[in-house]
């Protein structure tokens, strides 16, 4: 009886440790597409914050800007949100995506600062 319990516990433990590889769905945005969209999305948010307008007006403007970004990147909002949730299920992959986004935004900020100091 004890051997069966130990064997059963071992099987459960092994199944928990085993990492499953997820198959990428056909609708999934590629990492580069996701990174490009997120960069543009965060830049749009920053522009709205800089305007200093009321929250309800900001929300309306953001929805319009977001739709323009979907059009620019030729993706639908549902595909973006499904892809975002897919990547969110793998924290390591989502972290890598955001590292690339932040790095790109930092480079843009540095280039902007350099161009202002040259003037």
The alpha carbon dihedral of 8, 9, 12, 13 has a sign of negative
Classify residue 44 by burial, with Cβ atoms within 10 Å: 0-12, 13-18, 19+: middle
Alpha-carbon gap, residue 64 to 107, rounded angstroms: 27
Share of the chain above pLDDT 70, in %: 82
- 65-78 pLDDT per residue, tens: 999 999 999 999 99
Compute the average pLDDT of residues 41-63.
86
- 5-17 pLDDT per residue, tens: 554 555 555 555 4
Compute the average pLDDT of residues 44-68.
87
Query: Which pLDDT score, from 0 to 100, does residue 7 have?
Result: 47
Residue boundaries of the structural domains of the chain: 26-118
């Amino acid at each position: 009886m004890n051997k069966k319990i130990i064997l059963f516990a071992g099987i459960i433990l092994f199944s928990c440790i085993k990492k499953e590889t997820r198959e990428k769905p056909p609708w999934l945005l590629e990492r580069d597409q996701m990174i490009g969209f997120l960069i543009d999305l965060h830049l749009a948010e920053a522009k709205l914050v800089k305007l200093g307008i009321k929250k309800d007006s900001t929300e309306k403007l953001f929805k319009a800007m977001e739709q323009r970004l979907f059009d620019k990147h030729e993706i639908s909002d549902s595909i973006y949100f499904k892809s975002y949730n897919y990547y969110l299920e793998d924290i390591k992959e989502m972290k890598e995506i955001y590292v690339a986004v932040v790095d790109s935004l930092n480079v843009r900020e540095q280039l902007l600062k350099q161009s202002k100091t040259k003037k």
